[in-house]
Amino acid sequence: MTKLAGKLLSVMDCSEILFNDTTQPAYKRTMRLIREAKLDTVKLGRVTYVSRALLYKHFKLEDEEKGSDAPLVTTDQESIVIHLPKR
């Protein structure tokens, strides 16, 4: 994951945080979520960046420095639960 002074994340980085996946479908899903949430973005050339603080606040994620290193996917023995934001 590329960090720009810890303040901005590329959409690919956001996809890795949200879904623990950097494939094209995960990228498109992340881009769609960012657009639907109307998060402010910065575009430099072909790369779109999102504020780390906005991403963590909107999707109610724990900050990495505070101890959460797991993606937004949790598993147990019987099922897989994926927590997505409410529309």
Over residues 5-50, the pLDDT tens digits come to 568 899 999 999 999 999 999 999 999 999 999 999 999 999 999 9
Cα angle, residue 53 at apex, residues 15 and 38 outer, rounded to 5°: 65
| Cα distance between residue 48 and residue 80, in whole Å | 30
Question: Are 35 and 85 contacting, i.e. CB atoms less than 8 angstroms apart?
Answer: no
Q: How far apart are CA 34 and CA 69, in angstroms?
A: 21
Distance between CA atoms of 28 and 26, rounded to whole angstroms?
Answer: 5
Kindly list the domain boundaries of the chain, sorted by start residue. Answer: 8-82
Label residue 59 by pLDDT band (50, 70, 90).
confident
Q: Provide the token pair at 43.
A: 């575009």
